[in-house]
């Protein structure tokens, strides 16, 4: 039997509540109708429960959307954003009515799905179903982690809830199971999900594809589950929310039976209410049916606005109360209070990077994943806001922070996270942690499994979130596990995400600098791509350009021995840089002037000035790119005089060096390709 509570009352909502709910419904309907695009169904069906939450429980201040101890509200079903924009406008956020009238138009603050950073009060970019729900798990994790770090007896400066409005699609997506399982395991009692169970998705009834007992499923994850039969019954919704808030040992799912397109005579409870405007005539009928004036459009009755705007006084008072409590806390704990402000503002402490390791050739050969682990150990001691882990691969990714403890229900002060084998949720949870602020989140797995977390990585880039990924086993050189584990197209794929910075360091010192860049980047994610196999440590005396060079994304590591212009440039990343260096020496002995350019980050290199890039890669000099990954992408560097030694099939199962040999990553082949590239030039009359 499902351990659930059934809550239902038959009392009609009081008149003012109904007016307020209809205000939200018809603002959304008019937005969609005016835009001739959007989703009216969810707002009509879910307005009452959203209103109940925002009116009676949600702690927020429209005048300060970033107040750190506000409750978080994530509209996971981002397609229903007209409802969120209506709520933000009526409660007094800086979102004027004209913005609602410009729904989905160029340059408006009311885009087609909620976009973090574009609209005040939007806590996360949502739209790809399931992501918001998993982001919220990350936010709830951040809340308990920061509470464990900063709260003191008598001082609760971190104390808020995380709410989600989710739809059938959110729960159908696999990520909801990964994130739900993790949240249940962690006993995140202040995470509350309102699930709009309207039995309809785009293709029709959920009977087509979604018939499991969702309450039983979430109960099995360790959640507290409740059912509300009538979503328009604000008292029943309120009762369930109250019970959910009181349940501190388990996250809560409240399954609320909603009706898509509620009130629309021809479209309620049908998929037709989903992704298109109701139509002028149907809007009229719906308004008349619910006792709403057909015109004016975007109608907000005075009494509704007055009631909604009480959120400003309520929110300002709650924030003022928090600020005075923060002051009292600071009086007793000055350093801790300053530290709290620092991490919330994403500032780094003074001299955080002064004792990062420097490696010498005597330390090598060393895999860059090991160098990364050693760097993490130092960063961990300087940056207590670092929190992260791996998707069950910490012994391979070297992401564990010694002495930081495990983050678990019995120890929310722990900073080593165990995401389980749940890469997709890991990515979205990291986003939620970053969105919350106060932490530097990072997560690791093998580069090949970045495929499992690409949707949240894309959103991290879109949200400009400072999230760090530690991807190891970065090429076919990882060897025996074979093609299923050998990344080929991942590098070019990740580099192509706008706003993502991918760094593939060539040795231990480049790895340290890569970490410094990652920690310092506050406006977007960084993916560190690291080797499993040991690599020589580049001699800093011989290659002094490393420190400045990595920051620029690409630099001249070793020039041709004579001062004359190079005849060919060997451009390489990560482990292949060493191959390029060897080939350069061989070519020199064969009378060819070759320059080696290390490009740990094509993304950073492309941001540099043209003169700098031309200095590193002078136009007209032939290029030979060497990277154990798909050749696609390198062509952008090259005119007709380019060749790429890459991997354009799936790799093979054999010891790493053997695979590398077979794929042409040998000094002989690099030199052969270089000569081949140069021959036509030399033969020119
Ligand atoms: C990952 C993902 N797949 C597909 C879609 C396209 N899509 C948008 S809404 C939706 C389903 C709508 O059903 P439901 O989640 O129940 O929302 P409601 O019907 O309540 O509006 C789909 C498939 C999406 N937004 N995200």
pLDDT digits (tens, 9 = 90+) for 199-223: 999 999 999 999 999 999 999 999 9
Indicate the angle between helix axes 41-56 and 81-91, nearest 10 degrees: 40
Ligand 1 contact via 133 beta carbon (within 6 Å): no
With cut-offs at 50, 70 and 90, classify the pLDDT of residue 643: confident
For residues 364 and 533, the answer to whether their CB atoms sit within 8 Å is no
Q: Which of 82, 129, 171 to mutate to test the pocket of ligand 1 (most atoms within 8 A of CB)?
A: 129
Query: Stretch 1-10: mean pLDDT, rounded?
Result: 48
Ligand 1 contact via 202 beta carbon (within 6 Å): yes
5 pLDDT more than 60:
no
Q: What's the alpha-carbon Rg for the chain, to the nearest Å?
A: 28
Q: Tokens 């093979």 correspond to what residue?
A: 652
Q: How far apart, in whole angstroms, are the C-alpha atoms of residue 65 and residue 57?
A: 16
- Cα of 201 to ligand 1 centre, how many Å? 6
The Cα-based distances of 676 to 201, 641, 669 in angstroms read: 58, 10, 10
- Lowest-pLDDT range, 311-320, 539-548, 637-646? 637-646
Q: Which of 164, 178, 201 to mutate to test the pocket of ligand 1 (most atoms within 8 A of CB)?
A: 201
**Six-digit token string for 172:** 């159908």
Other CB atoms closer than 10 Å to residue 27's CB: what's the count? 27
Ligand 1 contact via 78 beta carbon (within 6 Å): no
Share of the chain above pLDDT 70, in %: 97
Q: Which atom of ligand 1 is nearest to the CA of 455?
A: 1
Instruction: Classify residue 189 as exposed, middle or buried by CB count within 10 Å of its CB (0-12, 13-18, 19+).
Output: buried
Q: Is 528 helix (H, G, I), strand (E, B) or coil?
A: strand
**Six-digit token string for 288:** 């008349």
Length of the chain: 685
Per-residue pLDDT of 390-403, as tens digits, reads 999 999 999 999 99
**Six-digit token string for 300:** 């907000």
For residues 273 and 260, the answer to whether their CB atoms sit within 8 Å is yes
Phi then psi for 527, rounded to 5 degrees? -110, 120
Per-residue pLDDT of 473-510, as tens digits, reads 999 999 999 999 999 999 999 999 999 999 999 999 99
Q: Which of 79, 131, 204, 259 to mutate to test the pocket of ligand 1 (most atoms within 8 A of CB)?
A: 79
Contacts of residues 211-220 at CB distance under 8 Å and 24 or more positions apart, as own/partner, are 213/2, 214/171, 214/253, 214/255, 215/2, 215/4, 215/253, 215/255, 216/2, 217/177, 217/180, 218/180, 218/184, 218/253, 219/2, 219/3, 219/4
What was the pLDDT predicted at 428? 98
Query: Stretch 109-115: mean pLDDT, rounded?
Result: 97
Ligand 1 contact via 477 beta carbon (within 6 Å): no
Phi then psi for 505, rounded to 5 degrees? -70, 155
- Cα of 78 to ligand 1 centre, how many Å? 9
The Cα-based distances of 184 to 437, 439, 534 in angstroms read: 22, 22, 39
Per-residue pLDDT of 252-280, as tens digits, reads 999 999 999 999 999 999 999 988 999 99
Ligand 1 contact via 198 beta carbon (within 6 Å): yes
**Six-digit token string for 492:** 């070019």
CA 84 to chain centre: 21
* Catalytic option among 99, 115, 143, 423: 423
Phi then psi for 391, rounded to 5 degrees? -90, 70
- Cα of 39 to ligand 1 centre, how many Å? 10
Ligand 1 contact via 258 beta carbon (within 6 Å): no
Whether 423 is catalytic: yes
**pTM to 2 decimals?**
0.96
What was the pLDDT predicted at 684? 62
């Amino acid at each position: 039997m499902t351990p659930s509570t059934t809550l239902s009352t038959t009392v009609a909502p009081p008149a003012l509540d109904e007016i307020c709910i209809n205000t939200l419904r018809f603002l959304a309907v008019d937005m969609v109708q005016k835009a001739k695009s959007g989703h009216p169904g969810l707002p009509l069906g879910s307005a009452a429960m959203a209103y109940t939450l925002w009116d009676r429980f949600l702690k927020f201040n429209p005048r300060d959307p970033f107040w750190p101890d506000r409750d978080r509200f994530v509209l996971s079903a981002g397609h229903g954003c007209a409802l969120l924009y209506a709520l933000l406008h009526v409660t007094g956020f800086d979102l004027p009515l004209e913005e609602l009238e410009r729904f989905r138009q160029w340059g408006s603050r009311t885009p087609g799905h909620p976009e973090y950073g574009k609209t005040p009060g939007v806590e996360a970019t949502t739209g790809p179903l399931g992501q918001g729900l998993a982001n919220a798990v990350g936010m709830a994790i951040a809340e308990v982690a920061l509470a464990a770090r900063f709260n003191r007896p008598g001082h609760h400066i971190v104390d808020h809830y995380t709410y989600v409005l989710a739809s059938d699609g959110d729960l159908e997506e696999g990520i909801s199971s990964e994130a739900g399982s993790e949240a249940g395991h962690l006993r995140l009692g202040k995470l509350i999900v309102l699930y709009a169970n309207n039995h309809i998705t785009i293709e029709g009834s959920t009977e087509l594809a979604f018939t499991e007992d969702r309450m039983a499923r979430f109960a099995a994850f360790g959640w507290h589950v409740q059912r509300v039969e009538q979503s328009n019954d604000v008292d029943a919704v309120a009762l369930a929310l109250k019970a959910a808030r009181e349940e501190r040992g388990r996250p809560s799912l409240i399954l609320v039976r909603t009706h898509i397109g509620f009130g629309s005579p021809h479209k309620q409870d049908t998929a037709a209410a989903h992704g298109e405007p109701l139509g002028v005539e149907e809007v009229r009928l719906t308004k008349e049916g619910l006792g709403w004036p057909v015109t004016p459009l975007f109608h907000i009755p005075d009494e509704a606005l007055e009631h909604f705007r009480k959120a400003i006084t309520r929110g300002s008072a709650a924030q003022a109360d928090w600020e005075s409590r923060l002051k009292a806390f600071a009086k007793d704990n000055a350093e801790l209070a300053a530290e709290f402000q620092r991490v919330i503002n994403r500032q780094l402490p003074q001299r955080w990077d002064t004792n990062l390791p420097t490696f010498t050739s005597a330390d090598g050969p060393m895999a860059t994943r090991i160098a990364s682990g050693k760097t993490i150990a130092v960063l961990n001691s300087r940056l207590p806001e670092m929190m992260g882990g791996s998707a069950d691969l910490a012994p391979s990714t070297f992401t564990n922070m010694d002495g930081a403890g495990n983050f678990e229900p019995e120890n929310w002060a722990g900073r080593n996270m165990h995401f389980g084998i749940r890469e997709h949720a890991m990515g979205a949870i990291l986003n939620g942690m970053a969105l919350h602020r106060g932490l530097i989140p990072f997560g690791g797995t093998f580069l090949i499994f970045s495929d499992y977390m690409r949707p949240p990585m894309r959103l991290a880039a879109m949200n400009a979130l400072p999230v760090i990924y530690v991807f190891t086993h970065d090429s076919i050189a990882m060897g025996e596990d074979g093609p299923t584990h050998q990344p080929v197209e991942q590098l070019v794929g990740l580099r192509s995400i706008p706003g993502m910075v991918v760094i593939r360091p060539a040795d231990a010192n480049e790895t340290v600098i890569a970490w410094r860049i990652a920690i310092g980047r506050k406006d977007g994610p960084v993916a560190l791509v690291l080797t499993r196999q040991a690599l020589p440590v580049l001699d800093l005396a011989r290659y002094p350009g490393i420190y400045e060079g990595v920051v620029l994304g690409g630099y001249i590591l070793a020039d041709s021995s004579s001062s004359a212009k190079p005849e060919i440039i060997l451009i390489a990343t990560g482990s292949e840089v060493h191959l390029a260096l060897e080939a350069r020496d061989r070519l020199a002995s064969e009378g060819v002037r070759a320059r080696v350019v290390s490009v740990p980050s094509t993304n950073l290199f492309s941001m540099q000035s043209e003169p700098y890039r031309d200095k590193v890669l002078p136009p007209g000099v032939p290029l030979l790119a060497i990277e154990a990954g798909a050749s696609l992408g390198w062509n952008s560097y090259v005119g007709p005089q380019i060749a790429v030694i890459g991997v354009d099939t799936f790799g093979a199962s054999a010891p790493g060096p053997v695979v590398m040999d077979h794929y042409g990553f040998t000094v002989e082949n690099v030199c052969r390709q270089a000569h081949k590239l140069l021959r036509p030039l030399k033969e020119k009359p």
